[in-house]
Structure 1
Amino acid sequence: MLKAKMPMAEIYDIKMRSIEGEEISFEKFRGKWLLLVNVASRCGYTPQYEDLQRLHETYGNKVTVLGFPANNFGGQEPGTHEEILGFCKKNYGVTFQLFEKISVTGSDQHPLYQWLSNADKNGWNDQEPTWNFCKYLVNANGQLVKFYNSGVNPLSEDILKELSQE
């Protein structure tokens, strides 16, 4: 397991709108493991929604799955919030928390992803998402502990092993 360093800024200071428009303070996630994923509805990795939902249902007592629709890669998330939510519920039965569509890279990168991909803020990691369905694992102390690329399945042995570290 990678040794997490204390972040320079707290993830719990971040506030965002849910996909339904409700403001959510990340303070509500204090003390919980978080798996943060930039998601898209028209990507080759979109079927990972199924395993993200399974992770949420099976390990929800250990980890909170948070999805962030983004249209940064190949225009693969062009829909409105209502279209995205409808797609996720209808096709994958998604009940884990989805947030408003944001930018996860570039000059308009959302502050959450600035925190996730800037070592000056999170303590060690400079890796931005390279495609849809990149994953960041934050431990119950608010420390970023791992980055996973798109090809890593949410139910992978590596992720489940990290979650057993608590």
Structure 2
Amino acid sequence: MVDNSIYQFNIQQLNGEELSLSEYKDKVLLIVNTASQCGFTPQLKELAALKKDFPGSDFEILAFPSNDFGGQEPLEGPAISAFCEVQEVNYPVFDKIRVRGPYAHPLYKFFADKKGNGKLSSVPRWNFHKFLINKSGRVTDFFYPFTKPTSSKIRKQITRLLAAGK
């Protein structure tokens, strides 16, 4: 049987250590490709506000810096970490990855493959493209960069997924 969940992937943390996405089993996730020098960069703080709206819940935001769009993420490792501290980021930020094209990280190739993820496909067209993942690790929806993290559309879906079983 094909694993159509995100739990099959490993990701690299900013400190260089590898982490399996299976660490986030039974959580609702919002996965976002980010950049420090983008017009949407203020969404880093909006993501932090969204995270605070679901305290103690099984909700997590995972941020993946990417330099794929307009060279808007020139920072690396420790510089990304320092920038995120200034932005008061309260969710995990991972190592910089590619999110589109032939060199895209396997997680983002998975997001682009409807057959692989069993639900829908979407390729980020810019920074701050958001994927919503249910407690079973499956993609349930995606949101374009212009959809603010604090929008009622995103909040309602997170609330619905948190209330649902697996």
With normalisation by structure 2, the TM-score equals 0.91
Per-residue CA shift, 1:80-137, capped at 9, x if unaligned?
11111111111x1112101110000011010010111210111122210010000000
For the 8 Å contact 1:122–1:143, the answer to whether it is kept is yes
Between the two proteins, what is the percent identity of the paired residues? 36
Instruction: Report the alpha carbon displacement of residue 32 of structure 1 after superposing the two structures with TM.
Output: 0.4
Partner of 2:32: 37
CA distance in 2, matches of 1:31, 1:62: 7
Is 1:133 matched with 2:128? yes
The number of residue pairs the alignment matches comes to 159
Residues 8-157 of structure 1: matches in 2 within 5 Å? 8-60=3-55, 61-90=57-86, 92-157=87-152
RMSD of aligned alpha carbons: 1.3
CA distance in 1, matches of 2:119, 2:68: 24
Unaligned runs of 5+ in 1: 1-6
Unaligned runs of 5+ in 2: none
Instruction: Report the alpha carbon displacement of residue 14 of structure 1 after superposing the two structures with TM.
Output: 0.6
- Runs of 4+ in structure 1 off by over 2 angstroms are 7-10
Per-residue CA shift, 1:38-95, capped at 9, x if unaligned?
00000000000001111122214142100000000000001111111111111x1112
